[in-house]
Structure 1
Amino acid sequence: MPRQTYIAKRGEIKTVWRHVDAEGKTLGRLATEVATVLMGKHRPEYTPGVLSGDAVIVTNAAKVVLTGRKLDQKTRRRWSGYPGGLKVRSYRQEIESNPARLVSEAILRMVPKGRFGRSLHSRLRVFAGATHTHSSQEPIAIETPSAAHELPAERPVATEKAARTKSAPRRASTRTAK
């Protein structure tokens, strides 16, 4: 007896509001987790092309972390359409001026492009500070796994396995040169 695949309809799925605190989280890891929740891929009734995701509120966008030297080296470019109208700003300048835009663009660039992705844009709210205006929706706090990917304070000098491989003599190659 063949099984039938469940396909969700538009009115069957109830939207739940979720809240994510971006303080100390890496921008890319945060964006992938929020994009997954927006699209609904965390739900068992996920159906492509149907708005089965949750609405997401992101707070503390100003305290998001960029690893390495990306704050100064990575740039954001805008072009007005006129000759000489190219505006180039570093991510440090962008976070100082409008951190919510930087976080929301990172999230929305990870959802499908097109009609479906544009409809997900209305379900995302990003705030630079710790407070938000959607307390009446009673958002459920979700913990993103990016908090578990903290960078170590200092690198270990050498592990036990690395110490053994450095001291072991190198074996001669069994291949013959042609």
Structure 2
Amino acid sequence: MSELRPRWLSEEERAAWLALLSTTTLLPGALEGPLQQAAKLSLFDYNVLAMLSEASSRTLPMSELAARTSASLSRLSHVVKKLQGRGLVERATHADDARVTAATITAVGAELIRDLAPLHVETVRGLVFDQLDRRDVADLARIGRKIVRGMDAGHWILRTPAP
């Protein structure tokens, strides 16, 4: 068995890595806090509702919703069941294919997202975009897409045109 030789990070790579790691560690909690306080929603709950609210007819097959939320079907199913219990989402057989289960945001869920969206966008803006200039924003999108591609070349975000 051959021994793998580590490719140590350069000082520049280490600094970039630690900045990314700190961002991915701190940002979810900072984004979730206001959502929890306002509506007892996790960031993931909010993302599920947001993806449904943006879909045509406010419905997505569970597999597509899982892709758009970067979640496993089992995690998504658990969360959709919880949201269904709160009257925010309905689950049913897809109209076009009886083998497919689809989730639909309810009127109550859509109203909640409409009410929370300004708070969430302001939180995102304050934590992320107010710290960046236009070039940084373009770089963030470009770099984020490259990192995602390295983990999942078929990820849904890569199906959307880059800005």
TM-score, normalised to structure 1, is: 0.23
More strand by proportion, 1 or 2?
1
More helix by proportion, 1 or 2?
2
Larger RCO, structures 1/2 (Cα 8 Å, 6+ apart): 1
TM-score, normalised to structure 2, is: 0.24
Larger Rg: 1
